[in-house]
Structure 1
């Protein structure tokens, strides 16, 4: 299983409400997504980012399918419009974690 983690730092005064709505609907619209969590930071520490997505996929190829999927494109566009910075990491989960 592959875990896909993306962190976002929003531009000042940008409202991510529409972004959250779009991202929250991706699991239902993209069959390759096994699980998806999205949320805003609640700690607000100096090292915190504003929001995160954590999604799990069976295979690395499924991450590519998700990225290119038409339902994902509005989320990408909103991310580019609202984010100052975006970072991601994709890693293999050990079998014991799945």
Structure 2
């Protein structure tokens, strides 16, 4: 299994409400997603990021399918519009 983790640091004043709704709807529209969690940071520590996505996929190819899927494109656009920084990591989970 491949775990896909993305962290977001929003621009000042950005409201991620629409972004959260779009991301939460992705599992119903993209069958390659085995599980998906998304949420906003609750600690607000100095090293914290504002939001995160953790998604699991059966194969690395499924991550590519997810990335290119038409249902994912609005989330990408909203992320790009609101994010000051985005980092990600994809790794194998036993």
TM-score, normalised to structure 2's length?
Answer: 1.00
2:51 counterpart residue number? 51
2:64 counterpart residue number? 64
1:92 counterpart residue number? 92
Alpha-carbon distance in 1 for matches of 2:91, 2:50? 22
Alpha-carbon distance in 2 for matches of 1:8, 1:80? 10
Structure 1: which 5+ residue stretches go unaligned? Answer: none
1:28 deviation in Å?
A: 0.6
1:66 deviation in Å?
A: 0.1
Task: Encode CA deviations 1:42-87: one digit per residue, 9 max, x unaligned.
Answer: 0000000000000000000000000000000000000000000000
Structure 2: which 5+ residue stretches go unaligned? Answer: none
**Alpha carbon RMSD of aligned pairs, Å?**
0.3
Q: Does 1:23 align with 2:33?
A: no
Alpha-carbon distance in 2 for matches of 1:37, 1:17? 15
Q: After the TM superposition, which segments of 4 or more aligned residues of structure 1 sit over 2 Å from their partners?
A: none
Give the length in aligned residue pairs: 94
TM-score, normalised to structure 1's length?
Answer: 0.95
